[in-house]
Amino acid sequence: MTNSTRHGKQHIRLFIPGPTEVRPTILDAQTEWMIGHRMPECADLFGRIQEKIRQVFYTESRVYITASSGTGLQEAAVRNCSDINVLNCVNGAFSDRWRKVTEANGKQNSVLEVDWGKPILPEQVVDSLSAGDFDAITVVHNETSTGATSPIEKIAEAVRSLPGGDEILILVDSVSGLSGIKLEFDAWDLDVVLTSSQKAFALPAGLAFCAVSDRALEKARTVSHRGYYFDFLELEKYLLRNQTPATPAISLLYALDRQLDDMLAEGMENRFQRHLDLRDRTIFWAQARGLKLFAPEGYRSPTVTCVMNDREIDINELNQYLRSQGMIISNGYGPLKGKNFRIAHMGDTQFHELEELLATIDRFLAKEPA
């Protein structure tokens, strides 16, 4: 693998599900001159970004950009969108984090709990919603901790077909999905979709983005104690002038502007297909080595593959070897450490790079004592 150095530091190629690998041209885009965030140059930059990022969310609606990671917008979503009861759908570590965020903000909630590794299914959501009076649901599109993707379009359809379903806000975390897995904000009638810069967007960490529907904004007007930094009404007021209420992460906006150009030049459909091809190749590789996948067929993530470690490979040793070869993968998340390992193939990862990783893992496995 190209072991290039930058500022004298050796490159370790990231096949971990965030932060992901950032191309040198994108890193370089961050080094433009600083500008004032009330200068017209910044509004121009913000306006350009707004027009392009809406295409990535498949929306004509607004996309707020915050100087935070995605967790900040998990907080924003529940704080702005509920004052009755939230249904938190939990099937892994990040959906469980959203439950904790909901509770930490003093919101009333109920939890739909599904085994880790499984997707959230529409009928489960419908069952849970019919057991109470809810104004919002939280659901993770792509559970990065387990490699399972949930069928958001079908979940949204099922929610909308319920009596009163038009008033339930559908809040979606697509932190490790968006731009790698197709998600259509407008066509699927979603209310908030949030993501982070450092996953499938293949940008440096530090920015978060969320599309917000008119319905969600109307709801926010009626909810008190929305906080200040992530108040949708404040963000909206400034967005209308191509600004943000507080100082944005200007250098990161330069990187985003450039990356959006590159994404749209690749073509979103091509980008989604590349992710599917990378996923299929990884699954084929694993199965050919007698390894099973953690997520069931039909719900396996296009951006991260979670492989069951039935061969009891020493994942730490594997990663040490990979590091010596200039690359790294992820162990299982939290309680899954050692039992699973995760290969991320999201962002700008190319086929030949994945091939190089898989061949390197094979070399390690060949040396391993049986």
Ligand X SMILES: *Cc1c(COP(=O)(O)O)cnc(C)c1O
Min. distance of Cβ 177 from ligand X in angstroms? 8
Question: Is residue 175 a contact point for ligand X (CB under 6 A)?
Answer: yes
With beta carbons less than 8 A apart as the criterion, state whether 79 and 101 touch.
no
The b-or-e profile of 219-245 (16+ CB within 10 A means b, else e) is bbeebeebeeebbbebbbebbeebbbb
Q: Name the token pair of 85.
A: 């009861």
Task: Say whether 18 sits in a helix, a strand or coil.
Answer: coil
Q: Is 71 in the site for ligand X (CB under 6 A)?
A: yes
Q: Cα–Cα distance between 344 and 328 in angstroms, integer?
A: 10
Q: How far is the CB of 69 from ligand X (least distance, A)?
A: 3
Q: Is residue 96 within the footprint of ligand X (CB under 6 A)?
A: no
Q: Which of 21, 173, 257, 353 binds ligand X (CB under 6 A)?
A: 173
User: How far is CA 288 from each of CA 278, 291, 310, rounded to the nearest angstrom?
Assistant: 15, 7, 13
Given a contact cutoff of 8 angstroms between Cβ atoms, the answer to whether 349 and 18 are in contact is: no
Q: Which of 242, 251 has the CB closer to ligand X?
A: 251
d(CA 132, CA 330): 39
Q: Which of 61, 109, 124, 144 binds ligand X (CB under 6 A)?
A: 144
Stretch that binds ligand X, among 26-34, 69-77, 159-167, 243-251 (CB under 6 A): 69-77
Contact (Cβ atoms closer than 8 angstroms) between residue 188 and residue 156: yes
Residue of 169, 93, 92, 154 whose CA lies nearest to 124: 154
From candidates 14, 15, 16, 18, binder to ligand X by CB under 6 A: 18
- For ligand X, the binding residues in 21-50 under the rule CB under 6 A are none
Number of residues that bind ligand X (CB under 6 A): 12
- Count of residues making up the chain: 370
Q: Which helix (H) or strand (E) holds 293?
A: none
Q: Residues 56, 140, 170, 318: which binds ligand X (CB under 6 A)?
A: 140
Q: In this complex, which beta carbon is closest to ligand X, that of residue 144 or of residue 309?
A: 144
Contact region with ligand X (CB under 6 A), list: 168-176, 222-230, 305-313, 319-327: 168-176
The piece of 32-40, 52-60, 64-72, 355-363 that touches ligand X (CB under 6 A) is: 64-72
Query: Which residues, numbered 176-235, are part of the site for ligand X (CB under 6 A)?
Result: 176, 196, 199
Q: Which residue ranges make up the site for ligand X (CB under 6 A)?
A: 18, 69-71, 94, 140, 144, 173, 175-176, 196, 199
